[in-house]
Amino acid sequence: QMQLQESGPGLVKPAETLSLTCTVSGGSISSSTYFWGWIRQPPGKGLEWIGSIDYSGSTYYKSSLKSRVTISVDTSKNQFSLKLSSVTAADTALYYCARLPLRGYGSGPYYYGMDVWGQGTTVTVSS
């Protein structure tokens, strides 16, 4: 059974770059039938999709975060990563990585959401 595990610093200073990694076990990240994504949840608030990537490195980002987000994949390590630059207190959140089943292609890939989630990792932005 596939499992995802987030890792990275729990504390990041304002204006610096938040970096997280998601390690996939129990299956290959190189599967052509999935995308891989990051979702975050500020304390006491709802879920926010950040972006998605496939094994070839094709990426899609939330428009309001696009200028600060980079998602990358390392198939040799079965990992994908999130970098979020110029962070502020508003970026303090529980960050989840997840698997997104690919449902087909139109003008871009179609996916319905996330079927496997990591346990999440808390990132606090504070000096």
Partner 1 sequence: QSALTQPASVSGSPGQSITISCTGTSSDVGGYVYVSWYQQHPGKAPKLMIYEVSNRPSGVSNRFSGSKSGNTASLTISGLQAEDEADYYCSSYASSSTLVFGGGTKLTVL
- Relative to beta strand 93-105, strand 79-84 is unpaired
Scanning residues 1 to 30, which ones bind partner 1 (CB under 8 A)?
Answer: none
Query: Among residues 36, 80, 95, 96, which is the contact residue for partner 1, using CB under 8 A?
Result: 96
Handedness of CA 20, 25, 30, 34 (dihedral sign): negative
SS3 category, 89 = helix
Binding flags for partner 1, 52-91, as an x/- string (CB under 8 A): x-------xxxxx---------------------------
Name the residue nearer to partner 1 (CB basis): 18 or 120.
120
The number of residues that bind partner 1 (CB under 8 A) is 26
Query: Does the footprint of partner 1 cover residue 36 (CB under 8 A)?
Result: no
Select the span of 14-22, 47-55, 70-78, 84-92 touching partner 1 (CB under 8 A).
Answer: 47-55
- φ, ψ for residue 91, nearest 5 deg: -90, 0
Q: What is the DSSP string of 2-53?
A: -EEEEES-SEE-TTS-EEEEEEEESS-TT-TTEEEEEEEE-TTS--EEEEEE
Binding site for partner 1 (CB under 8 A): 37, 46-49, 52, 60-64, 96, 103, 107-115, 117-120
